[in-house]
Structure 1
C-alpha cells in the first residue's frame, strides 16, 4: 500500500481525492467545501475525462464525497458505514443528502471514496441501494475503496507526489497496541480495578493546578474525577506489583508515545478536553480490545493524566 491512509487527517485525504479526481474528471474539479446541509462535497461540472470511460463519459454535475477513517482494516460492509435498515449509517446519511441534491437538480452523478476495503458483492449491493433510494442511475454511481484507490494512484503517480502527504501534518495519531495489552491485563483482574476506595491518592501535581496548565475546563475535569478517580489507586497498585513488570513496561511505552504526540499536536486543540476525547475515540476506533472495555480504557487514560504521565505538570511549566 502506498500510504497508511488511516494515519492521514481528513483534510489530507480530501486533498488526495481532489487531486485524483482532476485526472479522472477534469481540472475543473472544485475542492471540498461545506454545502448548505453541512456536508463537505467536491464538485465537477462538464464532461468527464475518464469516468466511467472515455467512450461514454459522464456529462453534467458530479458530486464527490470522501469518507476517511483512522480505523485499521475497515470495510464498506461494516454496519456503521452501511446498513439497509438504518439511515444513521454513513451511507444512510449520504442517501438523504444525495436525494436533496438530486431533487434540486444539483447532482447527475455521484462518487464516494473511502479508505475502506470494498468487496465486489458489497459494491453491487451498496450501489443498488443508493440508486433505488435516490433515483440516481446505477451507471452514475461510483464507489471507490482502498483497492481501486491504490490502482488509480499507481496509474497517476504524480498525484501522490503533488499531495506531499507529510506525516508531520497529520492529526494526533497513536498506536493502541501497548494500551490494549495493559487494559486486557487489567480486565483479567477486574476486581482490583473496580473495587472502590474512600481515599484515593493525591496527584503528583494538584488536580486544579494541572487543569489550569492544560486548559481543561472545570466541568470536564469534575466529571472525569467523579467517574475515574476511585480507580487510580488500584491501577497504581497493579502496575507496581512485581509480577506485572511486563504490563508496566507496556504502560510506559504507551505513555511515552501519547505524551510525545500530544506535545507535538497540542496547538491543534483549544483545550485538553478535546485532546482527551479525540485520543480515546481514536483508540476505540483502532482496537477491538479497547472498544470492549471502554470504561476501563477511559480510566487508564485518566490515570495517565492524574499521575502526570501525560499533559503538563508543574515541572513542565517551570522548566
Structure 2
C-alpha cells in the first residue's frame, strides 16, 4: 500500500522514521527531540542490527533526521532542498549542525529520511556534498527517499500500524486544486481583487464575537480586517455573478473541505491565527498557481472571505449569518 506521506504531519512522519530505524538499527533508537540550536534529531548508539548489512553493520553513534514536506511529488533534486548556489536550503541549513556533531565526536554515521523522490544521480551528489562538508565518509551516510521508504514498509509490514498511519486520522491537510481554479478565474476578471472599494462592507456577523469563539487574537484579527475586509464585497459579487456559476461549486467544495478538516483538527492548534497561517502555508506549498506572486494576496483574501462569510470557523449558533 502506498501512503500519502505529504498528508502526514511532520510529527507523524518523525514517528514513522523512528519506528523504521528501530528495525534497521535497534530498539534503543531515541526519538526526535529539539537540540540547543532548535534542530531535531533521533539518535542511536551501538551496533546496528541490519544496516547497511548484517555482515558489516554500522557501529558507533548514528544521528537520524527526518525532513517532511507537504508538497506533492517533491524531489531531493529541487533547489529548495539542496543547491550549491543557494545559501539557505533544507540540507544547507543542516550541514553546519552535522559538521559540529561530527567535530565533537557525537556523530559517526548520518541518516536522512524524506518523503521526496530520490534518483541515483541525486543520491550520489547529495551524499558527496554531505561528505565533503562534514568530513564524513560516504559509506557512513544514508539517504532514504519515498521509493526506498515504500520498500522498507513492505518489508516491515507492522510499522505502518505501529505508526498509526490511518488515512481517516489525518492532520489539517487540504487539497488546493479547487481554490486554485477559483483564484485563476478571479484573477482574470477585470477590476479584480487588487482594486480598493471606497466603502468597505459591514461584516455579516459580529466579527468580535466570531473571533472570540474561534480563539483568534485581536492583533491577527485587526490585521486581517485591515488588509482583506475591503475585498469581501468584490468576492461576493464575483461568486454570485451568473457567468461564474461554474466557479461557485469549486469555492463551496474548497470551503467545505477546509471546514471539515478544521473541525477535526482544531484541538491541535492553540489559536485560530495558527490555523489560518498553517492552512495558507500549506496551500502555497502544494500548488504552484497559488504561490505565484500575483496570486498570493488573492489566496489570503479568499481564505479570509471564507472566515468572514462563516464558511469556516465556529459561529455562535448554526444560523448566525444575517443578510
Same fold, TM-score > 0.5, yes or no: yes
For residues 7-51 of structure 1, give each alpha carbon's deviation from its aligned partner in whole angstroms, at most 9, with x where no partner exists: 111121111111111111122211112222221111111111222
In 2: Cα distance, 1:142 partner to 1:16 partner = 17
Query: In the superposition, relative to structure 1, how do residues 99 and 230 fare at CA in structure 2: closer, same or farther (>3 Å)?
Result: same
Gaps of 5+ in 1: none
Deviates more, 1:22-31 or 1:145-154: 22-31
Q: 2 CA distance for matches of 1:313 and 1:215?
A: 12
Instruction: Give 2:311's aligned residue.
Output: 309
In the alignment, the residues of structure 2 paired with residue 68 and residue 56 of structure 1 have an alpha-carbon distance, to the nearest angstrom, of: 29
Q: How many residues of Structure 1 are paired with residues of Structure 2 in the alignment? A: 318
Contact in 1 for aligned 2:201/2:230 (Cα 8 Å): no
Report which stretch shifted further, 180-189 or 107-116: 180-189
Structure-1 residue corresponding to 2:105: 105
Task: Using the TM superposition, give the Cα deviation of residue 145 of structure 1 relative to its aligned residue in structure 2, in angstroms.
Answer: 0.2
SS in 2 for 1:64: strand
Deviant stretches of 4+, over 4 Å: none
1:198 — aligned with what?
198
Matched residue SS, 1:90: coil
> Residues 123-134 of structure 1 correspond to what in structure 2 (within 5 A)?
123-134=123-134
Partner of residue 18, structure 2: 18
Structure 1 residue aligned with 2:301: 299
Distance 1:89 1:76 in 2: 11
Deviations 1:72-131 (A, max 9, x none): 111111121112133421101111110111111000000000000011111111111111
Offset at 1:313?
2.1
Can you give the 5+ residue segments of structure 2 that lack an aligned partner in the other structure? none
Structure with bigger helix share is 1
Q: Distance in 2 between matches of 1:203 and 1:314?
A: 15
Mapped to 2, the partners of 1:9 and 1:203 lie a distance apart of: 34
Contact 1:115 1:145 (8 Å CA) reproduced: yes
> Hey, what's the Cα distance between the residues in 1 that align with 2:68 and 2:241?
41
Aligned to 1:233: 233
Is 2:235–2:302's contact at 8 Å kept on the other side of the alignment?
yes
Whole-angstrom distance in 2 between the partners of 1:248 and 1:316: 22
What CA distance in whole angstroms lies between the structure 2 residues aligned with 1:133 and 1:102?
11
In the alignment, structure 1 residue 119 sits paired with structure 2 residue 126: no
Report the Cα distance in structure 1 between the residues aligned to 2:58 and 2:28, rounded to whole angstroms.
Answer: 14
Query: Conserved in 2, the CA contact under 8 Å of 1:111 and 1:143?
Result: yes
Cα contact 1:205–1:314 (8 A) shared by 2: no
Q: Tell me the equivalent position of 2:185.
A: 185
Q: Distance in 2 between matches of 1:229 and 1:105?
A: 56
Q: Please give the alpha-carbon distance, in whole angstroms, between the structure 1 residues aligned to 2:163 and 2:231.
A: 45
Contact 1:201 1:233 in 2 (8 A): yes
Higher mean alpha-carbon deviation, 228-237 vs 136-145, is at 228-237
Aligned partner of 2:61 in structure 1 is 61
TM (normalized to structure 1)?
0.96
Please provide the CA RMSD for this pair: 1.5
Please tell me whether the aligned partners of residues 8 and 167 of structure 1 are also in contact (alpha carbons under 8 angstroms).
Answer: no
Most deviating of 235-244 and 163-172: 163-172
User: Per-residue deviation at 1:298?
Assistant: 0.3
Change (3 A) 1:113 1:190: farther
